[in-house]
Structure 1
Amino acid sequence: MELIKVAVVFFVILAVLNRRLPLYAGMLAGTAVTLALFAIPPAAFAAAAAKALTGWDTWDVVLAMYVISVLQVSLDHRRHLENAQRAMAGLFHDQRLNAALASVFIGTMPAAPAVTICGRIIDNMAGDHLTPAEKAACASFFRHIPEGFLPTFSIILIVTSLSGVPMASFVAVMLPMAAVLVAIGFAVYLRRIPRSVPERAAGKAESLRLLLRSLWTIAAIIAVILIFGLPASLATALVTAVNFRTDRFSPSEVRRTLVRGFDWKITVGMISIFVFKEVLVATGVIDRLPDYFARLPIPTFLTLALLFFFGTLVGSSTAAGTAFTPLAFAALPGGASLLVLLVGFSWGASQLSPTHLCMAVACQDFGVPMTAFIRKTILPVLIFLVVITGYYLLLTALGL
């Protein structure tokens, strides 16, 4: 019964967003329906809202959203993204591969608003060959590939720690699935786009120098996060400030860029997502998911995979990883192969969850309804879940 209530809540959110109303309208509607269906008392709602509004995670995302938006505006202003695409054309001679790899590289930055930079690259490359919904889905898909295996993301740190699987083992076993994701994204989204290599692309050495000049800010942000452990918002702010200096922005240009980088609708929408997620957690439905799935007449490994999938869909990948990883490894002895399966299903669910920040940002950026975005994302996610299930069965058959 509670899962039906959750389905009703998500249906309401999607129905509101499908009318092209702002993100915060959908989240507020979902919060109101959750409060009503689960009969959450005012005191519990106040506590959940206060936790969301005072938590650093909320404001780190809000700040990261703003500073990355400012960075994107500054890169556009100096045509760095356009130059990066020209540079990659000289390196790989295929604009589709260029855009895919650039989005994967940018996706290594653990901040939801990075999808806007990927969106700009995909939009410039695809032209009229993809619809806005396909562009949004494509940008989000490639941007999230690193989230499935890189230790710059909290979910990977959490599940490897709780499972006892060495980080190196997990990454090594997961890397083939990252390659599979690139292939799936290419087949579903990019194969209809012409290769369209410039007739006189620059040489590889010149292209490499141009690429470094164009995207050094992204590389620097990732390095600062990894080396110094700074939050994404602070790391991006520091690098953006340096970029203003190196690109010789005048004071008036800096002011215009800072103003253009702010969008109050997106800011309120981000905050409303965190409030909704805390209210949903307060219902206790995530804690009761193991009981629901334990009754299903399916193999244990698939039960655990679905538990991670729906736990991520309802809550978040971090919540699912924290709550269910100890349970999974107690129920089914396994090493890196089991963890790859669980993380893969969690990754797939996060690409379809209405509470996923990147989805909201991508939909807002391309002006498309969330239902249209999900329709363009379901197929590659389903293909990936089938492939990773087969991969798990192969690994276990080989005793890995």
Structure 2
Amino acid sequence: MDAIKLAAIFTLIICLMKMKRPLSFSIICGIAAACVLFGIGINDAAKAIFESITSWDTLSLILIFYLIAFLQRMLEKRDFLNLAHRSLNGLFNSRRINASLAPAFIGLLPSAGAVFVCGEMVKSACGNDMSDEDQTFITSYYRHIAESFLPTYSSIVIAIQLSSVPVSSFLFAMFPMMVVLMALGYIFYLRKLPKETGMEPSTNKLDDIKNMVKSLWTIVLTIALILIFEFPVYTATFVSIVLCIFVHRFSMKELKPMFSSALEWSIVINTFVVMIFKEIIARTGAIASIPGIFALLPVPTVIVFALVFFFCTVISGSMATIALCMPLAYQSIPNGGPALLMLLMCYTYAAMQISPTHICLTLVTDYFHTGMTELLKRTVPVIASFCAIAAAYYLILTKLF
């Protein structure tokens, strides 16, 4: 019954989005449905809402969005994003590389707010040759490739810890799937974009590299502070903003309008709503019943867990799924090793690309003013292909490890 109730809640959300209702409204209706179907009283629901909107996880997420948006305003003020675009043109003279490599690189920054910078660079690369809906997919898809394997993301760190698989073994196992992700994005959508930039090939690659560093050094610094020195994302971004103010001599007159423009209320509201939804779903306890349901299927155990990770992630996000299901997976398949971790994280990654609990999907559709259903329509065939390839690759890895 829990699974049927969850299916009803997600069907309601999807139908409302299909009817062009705002995502925030659709998820609020999903929250109300969850409270009714699972018998969550008004007092318990109010407590869950209060704890969700006041938790540091939620507030720090909004702080990160604000700081990233502020940094983006600064880069736009000095025209650095356009300079980065021109530098990429000079180095590769390929719009396809600009539209994929830039968001993939910026995706190394473990923050949903980075999608704003990615979106601007994809817009510059695609121009009028791709629809807003296709640009939405390209931005979201390539920005999240790093999230499938990079151990700066908390979900990856927790998965590695719980599975006891060495980081190097996991990265070795995941590298071919990272290549697959890049290739699938090209096959399905990126190849539709004309390659030519309309510019003459650069004759001074060194200047292009210098301009690239000049335009994106703040993002590189932020990533370095996170990767090397393990700074929190908000601290690393704040440090980059402060240094950018002094290095590029921003005046208070220039900075003053950014304090208000960096705060986008639609993003704040959507963030609160998504986080409340995650908390309400977690309180239902329904996710714990899903492994037992899939265990009844007449399929190999490894496929059962792949499906469990996929559907649980769609419902409650990657963190809850990994914390709950990873120990169970390795108890059931004790010799799973890197191959099993690769498969489970591939399915987790794939599920996050269509999950309503994934805040980045809300941000990118808001940025391009497109609908969530249009993004999902483009995403599902790609991740279905990715999951099929991951399953076949798992069979190969089991022979190697």
Superposition TM-score tier, normalisation by shorter sequence:
over 0.9
- Relative to structure 1, is the Cα distance of residues 220 and 39 closer, same or farther in structure 2, using a 3 angstrom cutoff? same
SS at structure 2 position matched to 1:152:
coil
Task: State the distance in 2 between where 1:352 and 1:77 align.
Answer: 34
SS at structure 1 position matched to 2:44:
helix
Q: For 2:53, give the aligned amino acid.
A: L
Q: Contact (CA 8 Å) 2:98, 2:121: kept in 1 or not?
A: no
Q: Contact (CA 8 Å) 2:138, 2:189: kept in 1 or not?
A: yes
Aligned to 1:374: 376
Q: How does 1:302-313 map to 2 (within 5 A)?
A: 302-313=303-314
Task: State the distance in 2 between where 1:348 and 1:79 align.
Answer: 35
| Equivalent position to 1:364, from 358, 363, 366 | 366
Task: State the distance in 2 between where 1:202 and 1:304 align.
Answer: 53
Aligned to 1:145: 145
Deviation at 1:262, TM superposition (A): 1.1
Deviation at 1:128, TM superposition (A): 2.1
Q: How does 1:1-400 map to 2 (within 5 A)?
A: 1-197=1-197, 198-332=199-333, 333-396=335-398, 398-400=399-401
Q: For 2:182, give the aligned amino acid.
A: V
CA displacement, residues 247-294 of structure 1 (integer Å, 9 cap, x when unaligned): 222211101122211111210110111111000011111111111111
Aligned length: 399
CA displacement, residues 59-78 of structure 1 (integer Å, 9 cap, x when unaligned): 11111111111111221221
Task: State the distance in 2 between where 1:305 and 1:14 align.
Answer: 23
After the TM superposition, which of the residue ranges 124-133 and 317-326 deviates more from structure 2? 124-133
Task: State the distance in 2 between where 1:185 and 1:170 align.
Answer: 23
Deviation at 1:14, TM superposition (A): 2.8
Task: State the distance in 1 between where 2:178 and 2:400 align.
Answer: 22
Q: Please, what TM-score do these two structures have when normalized by structure 2?
A: 0.96
Q: For 1:255, give the aligned amino acid.
A: K
Task: State the distance in 2 between where 1:261 and 1:161 align.
Answer: 36
Q: For 2:36, give the aligned amino acid.
A: A
Q: For 2:313, give the aligned amino acid.
A: T
User: Over the residues paired in the alignment, what is the CA RMSD in angstroms?
Assistant: 1.4
Q: Contact (CA 8 Å) 1:22, 1:265: kept in 2 or not?
A: no
Point out where structure 2 has 5 or more consecutive residues left out of the alignment: none
Q: For 2:394, give the aligned amino acid.
A: Y
Point out where structure 1 has 5 or more consecutive residues left out of the alignment: none
Q: Contact (CA 8 Å) 2:318, 2:348: kept in 1 or not?
A: yes
Deviation at 1:19, TM superposition (A): 4.5
Task: State the distance in 1 between where 2:20 and 2:338 align.
Answer: 42
Q: Please, what TM-score do these two structures have when normalized by structure 1?
A: 0.96
SS at structure 2 position matched to 1:287:
helix
Deviation at 1:18, TM superposition (A): 4.0
Q: Contact (CA 8 Å) 2:67, 2:237: kept in 1 or not?
A: yes
